Amino acid sequence: MSVDASLRARAAKVIPGGMYGHLNAVLHGDRYPQFFVRAEGARQWDADGREYVDLMCSWGPMIVGHREPRVEAAAAAQQASGDCLNGPGPVMVELAELLVDLIPSADWAMFSKNGTDATTQALMVARAATGRTKVLVAHGAYHGADPWCTPGLSGVTPNQRADTVEFTYNDLASAEAAAAEADGDVAAILVTPFKHDSFEDQEPADAEFARGVRALADRLGAALVIDDVRAGWRLDLRGSWEPLGVRPDLTAWSKAMANGFPIAALTGADALRGAAQSLYSTGSFWFSATAMAAAKATIEILRESDGPGLMHRAGTRLREGLAAQAAAHGFVVRQTGPVQVPWLSFEGDDTLEKGIHWAGACLEEGVYLHPWHNWFLSAAHTDEEIDRALQGTDAAFAKLRAAYGAD
């Protein structure tokens, strides 16, 4: 029995289902390992010692390289002084100042631990500010795992979903119709920077749609909230819609903010400061200083090195390489999403059968990516790392052709 299989058997006795949530390997395919023991730079090692080029970046949190020395040193120095104390450390103020200085839409910042914390907190601020209840959200969009937004409905009551009204992403008329359905009771419009729903091709935000929902929020007197948890820090350090010229009232951040240390943030406009101050929103570990020190170091590295530019270079190299390989092996593929947050699907593969087979073959060749969830690039994905990944994906295309034939 492999080490991974042994750990799964033990876990099944003491953990419901043996594993749960988005890292449950059962959801990913038969060949995915569940347990990992080490990471360095752009690589990870599973419990059986197999090495992978990590194109998932721990599902997003890693952004400057696993165990990046400067981040690790900042975290270790803070940990040596104290982490979870009777109040936050000075680094909380320093991190908030850094965010306000960096993000044009931010006049203040609040901190928590997970993306769900930040999106939920954003809606609380919007409701406190407006006195309204409804939130407009795109159908199929992922905003976290609390009852109001979790994709699964087990344990969720209808009342917990009653205050969300859905629209179709990139369809301004649909958003207008959702606002009309809410009948004057809209507290917020919550959107992702691009459509990154699982199991389907990604879709960039249309500039007219982005400007339209900004105008709609203004007309309704509602808050425009950008959920930048997944895309944040990879596309534009100022905020993912900043290149479109659209600034939100509130932005939720997490995932890559501290290179794997647990932290989330909500930033907002001065007009919502009073509403934010009125909340009772807290957690035992929300003010722990170590993750804040790691976040400060991570963001400084990204700013100094043009992290988004490095990731764009890596993503472009990967995308061009995959396109050439697919064509050479006779496959028609679609590569969607920003190159820093990519995904690949096969033409006509509605059941994702080919995608799952190819992703499994990539694992065998030492490349960790995913058949139905977007991937992530990091500043640690050098040309050498991308070229090593492409060696594996090329071999995986060959295995796919042997199993299915060319398109």
DSSP string over 47-70: TT--EEEESSTTTTT--S-BT-HH
Q: What is the pLDDT of residues 46-84, one digit of tens each?
A: 999 999 999 999 999 999 999 999 999 999 999 999 999
**In this prediction, what percent of the chain has a pLDDT beyond 90?**
99
pLDDT of 1 higher than 90 = no
Would you tell me the crossing angle of helices 307-329 and 383-404 to the nearest 10 degrees? 30
Domain ranges of the chain: 3-66+306-404, 69-304
* Local confidence band at 93 (pLDDT 50, 70, 90 cut-offs): very high
CA distances from 80 to 69, 73, 87, 262 (A): 16, 10, 16, 18
| β partners of residue 335 | 344
Q: What is the pLDDT of residues 162-209, one digit of tens each?
A: 999 999 999 999 999 999 999 999 999 999 999 999 999 999 999 999
What's residue 383's pLDDT? 98
Side-chain half-sphere of 399: how many Cα atoms within 13 Å? Answer: 18
Q: Which of 229, 265, 231, 227 is nearest to 248 (CA)?
A: 227
- Per-chain mean pLDDT for the chain: 98
Please identify, in words, the CATH class of the domain defined by 69-304: alpha beta
Q: Are 53 and 252 in contact (CB under 8 A)?
A: no
Q: What is the pLDDT of residues 296-326, one digit of tens each?
A: 999 999 999 999 999 999 999 999 999 999 9
Please name the amino acid found at residue 333.
V
Burial 35-64 (b: 16+ CB within 10 A, else e): bbeebebbbbbbbeebebbbbbbbebbbbb
370 membership: H or E segment, kind and range: none
What is the chain's alpha carbon radius of gyration, rounded to the nearest angstrom? 21
Q: What is the pLDDT of residues 4-22, one digit of tens each?
A: 999 999 999 999 999 999 9
Q: Write out the E strands in 41-176.
A: 43-46, 51-54, 108-112, 134-138, 164-167
Six-digit token pair at 384? 């050498």
Q: How far apart are CA 213 and CA 210, in angstroms?
A: 5
CA distances from 69 to 3, 41, 66, 72, 74 (A): 29, 10, 9, 5, 9
* Local confidence band at 29 (pLDDT 50, 70, 90 cut-offs): confident
Q: Looking at domain 3-66+306-404, what is its CATH homologous superfamily?
A: Aspartate Aminotransferase, domain 1 (3.90.1150.10)
What's residue 326's pLDDT? 98
Collapsing DSSP states into helix, strand and coil, what is residue 261? coil
Six-digit token pair at 219? 């007309």
Side-chain half-sphere of 352: how many Cα atoms within 13 Å? Answer: 15
Q: What is the pLDDT of residues 334-363, one digit of tens each?
A: 999 999 999 999 999 999 999 999 999 999
| β partners of residue 250 | 225, 268
User: What is the DSSP secondary-structure string of 188-224?
Assistant: EEEE-SEE--TTS--EEPPHHHHHHHHHHHHHHT-EE
Neighbours of 183 (CB within 10 A): 9
CA distances from 163 to 123, 167, 269, 336 (A): 11, 13, 24, 32
* Local confidence band at 294 (pLDDT 50, 70, 90 cut-offs): very high
* Local confidence band at 118 (pLDDT 50, 70, 90 cut-offs): very high
The answer to whether the pTM exceeds 0.75 is yes
Neighbours of 148 (CB within 10 A): 18
Six-digit token pair at 287? 């003010």
Q: What is the pLDDT of residues 362-405, one digit of tens each?
A: 999 999 999 999 999 999 999 999 999 999 999 999 999 999 99
| β partners of residue 383 | none
CA distances from 16 to 6, 8, 9 (A): 16, 11, 12
Q: Are 243 and 77 in contact (CB under 8 A)?
A: no
Q: How far apart are CA 298 and CA 233, in angstroms?
A: 10
CA distances from 25 to 4, 32, 370 (A): 11, 6, 11
pLDDT of 239 higher than 90 = yes
